[in-house]
Structure 1
């Protein structure tokens, strides 16, 4: 299926998610938005100036980044 102009991009959907005050990790991005390269989408959002924080999460032997937007409650 091809993306049409009315379909928000992964970046747009992730940005909306972050703007609601929620954090996002790679597992959530994959499940919710079909995004398998969350760090690349976060990079794309940071380029125009969106203020996004990252933190490293350690769960047992698994390590991943979790992203949130600064100044959003």
Structure 2
């Protein structure tokens, strides 16, 4: 994880988009999305986690959404 990935993911979320781990890999070559989300939360960003079923119908994965921008 690097600060460039963090900034890009934050900018992506600020556009009102949501992101999953698979999308983070495809869009930003980011394999540790949960660590970036935790850093953003620690910085004061209100990020919620939604659980989604996997396309196979077996299991689920997280999808993250930015609710409010930090003050």
Same fold, judged at TM 0.5 (above): yes
Match of 2:5 among 1, 6, 10: 10
Deviations, residues 18-73 of structure 1 (Å, cap 9, x unaligned) = 0000000001000000000111110011111011111111130131100011148x
- Length-normalised TM-score, structure 2: 0.84
User: Unaligned stretches of 5+ in structure 2?
Assistant: none
User: Unaligned stretches of 5+ in structure 1?
Assistant: none
Residue aligning to 2:25: 30
Higher alpha-carbon Rg:
1
Identify which range, 56-65 or 22-31, moves more after superposition. Answer: 56-65
Aligned residues, how many? 66
Distance of aligned partners of 1:46 and 1:28 in 2 relative to their CA distance in 1, 3 Å threshold:
same
Task: Say which structure is richer in strand.
Answer: 2
Residue aligning to 1:56: 51
Task: Say which structure is richer in helix.
Answer: 2
- Length-normalised TM-score, structure 1: 0.82
